[in-house]
Amino acid sequence: MNNTMGIILAENQEIRLNELTDVRSVAALPFGGRYRLIDFILSNMVNSGIINVGLTTMFNYSSLMDHVGSGTPWDLNRKTYGLFFLPPYIRRSSNNSGITGGSVDLLYGVLTHLRRSPQKHVLIAGGNLVCNMTFDGAMEFHRQNEADVTVIYTNLSENPEQLKRTTVYELDAENRVIGIEHNPRNPKTPYSSMDMYILERTLLIDMIEEAYAKGSHDFIKDVLLTNLSSLKIYAYEHKGFVGRVDNIKSYYENSMLMLDDAIRKEIFSGPNPIYTKVKDQVPTRYGESASVSDSLIADGCRIDGTVENSIIFRGVNVGKGSVVRNSIVMQNTIIDQNCDLESVVIDKECTLRPLKRLIGQPNYPIILPKRTMI
């Protein structure tokens, strides 16, 4: 796989998680107690032997930059290749700032990087999927089919609601793509795109230049769909767990799925680790009145209250007499004594003074924006 380079499109304009993504790109969304969504695709690429990884983004990318840094946690701080942070491409001479937002625009902005890289293939991926996979199988499939483009998909028959918010492929018996629908009202198949594409680098450069010249913006609709008959586009199925974060509800549900023994083990305890930024936090301390059940607790916490069925990030305090149920509490939030929280997503560095009560619903959790003080 070291003849393949990776491009991660860290921003996806169709995905908004209200207050949670107001302050950060989707890929920088905290997940699973100590990770950010970007960690999954970055680790998957590195675990596949990809050592040239470009990261494009558009808005509010400081938290993403801060998180990935020079790429050390993923072993991407290298003399040759490594991690390339590719901020939005803004031309001085034109009013067109480049922030029109489509995937073609993002890729056009990184053409120089694509031209300079020597790798034969490119793997393009988004930054909002929770999965643990390598790309060796897809790459082999791409070669065997002598495909122009290989797209990776997952069977989403168990989540028809979310299926409608994805790109769906229609396939022939050989898994060649014969139809593409974006956000279909009535999906013809459950083959949901994982927004991952493998193709030759030179082909990608040609496609992007052509699409940009025609004023196109979207890689799926304007490039893949319009060239469906002229290109050999094949689809490779990924069979493992895929958690797609595309709105608050799916963020909450996929977070809670990490409490499932089998899914958690597949994602975190397999042969390929998920890497993330290290914070050198102390182990979590439990006091004499602590009571915790069915929860993931990161390091650096101080737990004196009750935590049930929740995800607690690094450096969180849960005071005596407080109860946290079915909730996600992000880094460095302080929950004082005797609070009662249920189905709440609390962003980083919030403070809840004593005796606060917040009750959301599992399908409609309450969101506390970053640094809220109640």
Residue among 136, 138, 113 nearest 52 (CA):
113
- Identify residue 224 by its one-letter amino acid code: L
Binding residue for other proteins, selected from 291, 355, 362, 371, defined by CB under 8 A: 291
Residue among 293, 350, 353 nearest 324 (CA):
293
Of the pair 87, 240, the CB lying nearest other proteins is at: 240
CA distance 303 to 90: 47
Of the pair 213, 278, the CB lying nearest other proteins is at: 278
Q: State whether the Cα torsion 273-277-283-285 is positive or negative.
A: negative
Contact predicate 341/358, CB 8 Å: yes
The reply to whether 297 sits near other proteins by the rule CB under 8 A is yes
Give the residues across from 311 on adjacent strands: 296, 328
Minimum gap (Å) between residue 228 Cβ and other proteins: 41
Binding residue for other proteins, selected from 269, 363, 371, 373, defined by CB under 8 A: 269
Binding residue for other proteins, selected from 237, 299, 340, 349, defined by CB under 8 A: 299
Q: Find the part of the chain contacting other proteins (CB under 8 A) among 131-139, 156-164, 208-216, 261-269.
A: 261-269
Q: Count of residues binding other proteins (CB under 8 A)?
A: 41
Q: Give the N- to C-terminal CA distance of the chain in Å, as an integer.
A: 50
Q: Find the part of the chain contacting other proteins (CB under 8 A) among 3-11, 96-104, 281-289, 343-351.
A: 281-289
Query: Residue 213: exposed, middle, or buried by beta-carbon count in 10 A (0-12, 13-18, 19+)?
Result: exposed
Q: What is the dihedral of CA 256, 258, 261, 267, to 10 degrees?
A: 160
The reply to whether 288 sits near other proteins by the rule CB under 8 A is yes
The reply to whether 52 sits near other proteins by the rule CB under 8 A is no
Q: Are strands 149-155 and 191-200 parallel, antiparallel or unpaired?
A: antiparallel
Of the pair 282, 355, the CB lying nearest other proteins is at: 282
Of the pair 29, 207, the CB lying nearest other proteins is at: 29
Of the pair 140, 260, the CB lying nearest other proteins is at: 260
The reply to whether 274 sits near other proteins by the rule CB under 8 A is yes
The reply to whether 266 sits near other proteins by the rule CB under 8 A is no
For 220, phi and psi rounded to 5 degrees? -75, -55
Of the pair 300, 365, the CB lying nearest other proteins is at: 300
Which string of x and - marks every residue 26-45 that binds other proteins (by CB under 8 A)? ------xxxx----------
- Identify residue 212 by its one-letter amino acid code: Y
Binding residue for other proteins, selected from 203, 253, 268, 372, defined by CB under 8 A: 268
* Contacts with 300 (C-beta within 8 Å, 6 or more apart), sequence order: 279, 281, 282, 284, 314, 315, 316
Of the pair 296, 345, the CB lying nearest other proteins is at: 296
The reply to whether 273 sits near other proteins by the rule CB under 8 A is yes
Of the pair 267, 367, the CB lying nearest other proteins is at: 267
The reply to whether 293 sits near other proteins by the rule CB under 8 A is yes
Of the pair 132, 167, the CB lying nearest other proteins is at: 132
Minimum gap (Å) between residue 187 Cβ and other proteins: 33
Q: Are strands 311-312 and 323-325 parallel, antiparallel or unpaired?
A: unpaired
CA distance 2 to 241: 25
Q: Find the part of the chain contacting other proteins (CB under 8 A) among 14-22, 63-71, 295-303, 338-346.
A: 295-303
Q: For residue 85, give the 3-state DSSP assignment.
A: strand
* Contacts with 217 (C-beta within 8 Å, 6 or more apart), sequence order: 100, 101, 102, 103, 104, 105
CA distance 34 to 264: 13
Contacts to other proteins from residues 67-106, by CB under 8 A: 72
Binding residue for other proteins, selected from 249, 264, 325, 356, defined by CB under 8 A: 264
Minimum gap (Å) between residue 196 Cβ and other proteins: 23
Binding residue for other proteins, selected from 14, 294, 355, 371, defined by CB under 8 A: 294
- Tokens describing residue 210: 């052509």
Q: Which residue has the tokens 């915790």?
A: 292
> In the complex, which residues of this chain contact other proteins (CB under 8 A)?
32-35, 72, 258-259, 264, 267-269, 273-276, 278-280, 282-300, 307, 311-313
